[in-house]
Structure 1
Amino acid sequence: MTLRVGMVAGEPSGDLLAARAIRGIMQHAPDARCEGIGGPAMSRQGFDAWHPMDALSVFGYVDAIKRLPSLLSTYSNVRRRWQSQTPDVFVGIDAPDFNLRLELQLRRAGVPTVHFVGPSIWAWRYERVHKIREAVSHMLVLFPFEEEIYQKENIPVTYVGHPLAELIPMDPDRDAARRYLKMDTGARVLALMPGSRTSEIKLLGPRFLQAAQLLTQEDPSLLVLVPMVNAQRRQEFEVLLRDYPVPNCRIIEQAAGATTAFSSAMPTHDNDAFFDARPAAWNVMQAADAVLVASGTATLEAALFKRPMVISYVLSPMMKRLMTWKSGQARPYVPWVGLPNVLARDFVVPELLQEDATPQALADATWKALTDTPYAQQVVRRFRAIHESLWRDTPTLAANVILEQARHAQN
């Protein structure tokens, strides 16, 4: 009997996670059929995509409201298909607003449900744990502290590690990345990463560039590398760069076909094909001495590359009001915003948020990250411990849970 696995992923990071889970499933059940909503990495593993993951990709509350009719139509379509021909197990990867609603309906219909990537209830809206308990048969979480939360709430959970910990080398070769980028291996280099969304470029870009201007006054030879995820973000950033020119600033484009889903078995030596296959941000972080970065997944990537960093974020007044209204909170439950600090449960690196994110404050903190060697060495030790704690055999651990849930349903 062919195993049928329903899956929904709505973001590139979820596409990567799901692809690795599919790979693990196929190793144990080669004839399994995985179907639903997904992206290119999933399709490369044989996934049958009824809808592309772009159907669920939204950027903030305003975009979600504009796309609500389309989201509801997609939701109704997949729910109807799975309720008429139930899968043996359903796996929702991240996208909690969409997936938890779908998981609740399917679980009530007798389908075991696995949710992969826990919503950040440890920071915002802890009350969602009650909906998770009702909708989800088993949680798969990426961070070790999350396992404790769900165990306390009597929700079946497995910590499977974070796949980035396997994909990013434990000892990244800075000189190799610099040779690939055709730059002086002895230069002092700052990675400037104001985010991948228009709103982030608009709010953080000017502050980051003004901070870089101050830093180049301290060191006129400082090289500033700015990775851009696509041509639209590059164009938006270049407009700001004309208003806030920075000497020795170089924008690094994403290579065609670059992805975080490349094989971790690829050789990590000085090889252009290896670097071409990766996101531009990864090559820039590997080449850098320090990183000035918008809060988000990039902070975890910078930590895994063992780079001292300064984390920043600024919300518009409207977005801040929307977040407060939706969550009922003025700030997160935990005192940290950046993932490296959350994982370490300590301010390993500075966080400069909202009105604290002035160009001078950003420049001062970044200068310390660039020039204070004992401090940088201490940060690297803490990041190495984080990397080791996140390194697990994620495909096998995730597949074992998914297959176990399917077997229970079949019996």
Structure 2
Amino acid sequence: MSLTIAVVAAEPSGDLLGAALMVALKSRHADIRFIGVGGPEMTAAGLDSRIPLEKLSIMGIFEVLPRLPELLKLRKQLRLWLIEQKPDIFIGIDAPDFNLGLARSLKETGIKTIQYVSPSVWAWKEKRVKKIRASVDRVLCLFPFEESFLHRHHVAATYVGHQMADQLPMSPNRREAREELGVPEDANILALLPGSRATEVERLARPFLQTAVEASAQLDNLHVVVPLVNATTRDLFEKLAEPFRSELNLVLVNRNATAVITAADVVLLASGTATLQGMLCKRPMVVGYKVSSLTAAYIRLFRMIKIPYLAIANLLCDEMLAPEFIQERCRAELMTPAVVQMFTDKEQTQNIVKRYTEIHEQLRCAAAASAAEAVLDQLRYTGGGANHA
């Protein structure tokens, strides 16, 4: 029996998750047609992508407002097309603000729905759990604490793990990564990851680069390596980096964030999935992040953040091993001392590597295979395939 599975991702991290899930599904059920929205990884895995992924990639409460009409129009077009295609199941990968509304409208027509990556309702906007319950038949969770939280709120949820924990080695090879990137074996390497979205790069590139300049005055032979996820973010970063080039040994890399992080001694990065990647690569990190002043004021006014740390790595470790510099604290004069200390305090680095290794071992659980089984179980449980019988 053939299956049609709709999958929608809205950013590079979701593209990677989606591609691995698609491969795992095809290994279990040969006759599957994948439709929806994805990036290069999902397209390579066989997705018929209806909309460029970059059109959906945006972060923040007020940042989305200028593009809201366009996003609503795209979601309506996608909803009508998916209803016409009659997929056996819809899988929204992360991007809950876009995907949950789409999932709910599809569910109302009888299409089964899954959200892959739990919305961070355990961190902020807890009331969204009602929307999750109404929109999807099941949530596939990356972290164990998410499953237990959703169960307490009567949402069907399955912990499947994060495929990155399965893919990345327990002992990353720094020397091989440096050879691959062509950076000196004996250099001090600082990796900068200013985010995967253009809005993040716009806000973080300057403070990150200024931090690198100030750190280079205190560290011998410092090389700064920056992976950029696509041509849009690379062009933007190159423009913002121009005033700093004369003061830095700067290397820009297309994608390949894993190699860049592995090659680094220390990583300065945006809060988000990248901190999980840094943790799994066992690298000391400093985290910086900024949203618009309106978004920050709104979050503070309504006390929306319910967690002690923003970085996933710190939440998983339950301690701030990666110092966080958020909003007005995301400044070079504050971040530079933290970055330099990560280079020079070898005992601290050993403790960080030990703790990150412990968490990595806990997170390994064949995530893509587990997610694929959960999708197929949902189809079996609900009589999947009826749309194409």
TM-score normalised by the chain length of structure 2: 0.89
User: 2: CA distance between counterparts of 1:237 and 1:9?
Assistant: 24
Deviation for aligned residue 1:318: 3.0
Check whether the contact 1:7–1:35 (CA below 8 A) recurs between aligned residues.
Answer: yes
Q: Letter of the aligned partner of 1:303 in structure 2?
A: M
- The range that moved more, 198-207 or 304-313, is 198-207
Go from structure 1 to structure 2 and tell me whether the alpha carbon gap of 1:286 and 1:51 turns closer, same or farther (over 3 Å shift). same
User: 1: CA distance between counterparts of 2:34 and 2:245?
Assistant: 50
Partner residue in 2 for 1:6: 6
User: 2: CA distance between counterparts of 1:9 and 1:91?
Assistant: 9
Candidates 299, 302, 307, aligned match of 2:278: 302
- Alignment length (residue pairs): 384
Check whether the contact 1:252–1:280 (CA below 8 A) recurs between aligned residues.
Answer: no
Q: How does 1:208-219 map to 2 (within 5 A)?
A: 208-219=208-219
Whether 2:165 is the aligned partner of 1:165: answer yes
Check whether the contact 1:189–1:289 (CA below 8 A) recurs between aligned residues.
Answer: yes
User: 2: CA distance between counterparts of 1:105 and 1:92?
Assistant: 13
Deviation for aligned residue 1:307: 0.5
Q: Secondary structure at the match of 2:319?
A: coil
Deviation for aligned residue 1:341: 0.4
> 1:212-269, CA deviations, whole angstroms, 9 ceiling, x for partnerless residues?
3332222242222233334554454445545445644222221xxxxxxxxxxxxxxx
Which runs of 5 or more residues in structure 2 are unaligned?
385-389
Deviation for aligned residue 1:91: 1.5
Partner residue in 1 for 2:340: 367
Between the two proteins, what is the percent identity of the paired residues? 39
Deviation for aligned residue 1:382: 1.2
Go from structure 1 to structure 2 and tell me whether the alpha carbon gap of 1:109 and 1:392 turns closer, same or farther (over 3 Å shift). same
Which runs of 5 or more residues in structure 1 are unaligned?
255-278
User: 1: CA distance between counterparts of 2:22 and 2:227?
Assistant: 30
Check whether the contact 2:8–2:36 (CA below 8 A) recurs between aligned residues.
Answer: yes
User: 2: CA distance between counterparts of 1:69 and 1:248?
Assistant: 41
Q: How does 1:286-297 map to 2 (within 5 A)?
A: 286-297=262-273
Check whether the contact 2:17–2:163 (CA below 8 A) recurs between aligned residues.
Answer: yes
Check whether the contact 1:89–1:111 (CA below 8 A) recurs between aligned residues.
Answer: yes
> 1:265-309, CA deviations, whole angstroms, 9 ceiling, x for partnerless residues?
xxxxxxxxxxxxxx3332221111111222222211111111101
User: 1: CA distance between counterparts of 2:14 and 2:233?
Assistant: 22
Q: How does 1:25-44 map to 2 (within 5 A)?
A: 25-44=25-44
Partner residue in 1 for 2:311: 338
Q: Secondary structure at the match of 2:177?
A: helix
Partner residue in 2 for 1:285: 261
Go from structure 1 to structure 2 and tell me whether the alpha carbon gap of 1:296 and 1:26 turns closer, same or farther (over 3 Å shift). same
Check whether the contact 2:6–2:87 (CA below 8 A) recurs between aligned residues.
Answer: yes
Q: Letter of the aligned partner of 1:45 in structure 2?
A: A
Candidates 300, 322, 329, aligned match of 1:356: 329
Check whether the contact 1:194–1:294 (CA below 8 A) recurs between aligned residues.
Answer: yes
Deviation for aligned residue 1:189: 1.9
Check whether the contact 2:161–2:363 (CA below 8 A) recurs between aligned residues.
Answer: yes
Q: Secondary structure at the match of 2:64?
A: helix
Partner residue in 2 for 1:347: 320
TM-score normalised by the chain length of structure 1: 0.84
> 1:123-163, CA deviations, whole angstroms, 9 ceiling, x for partnerless residues?
22111001111111111011121111112112111111111
Deviation for aligned residue 1:376: 0.2
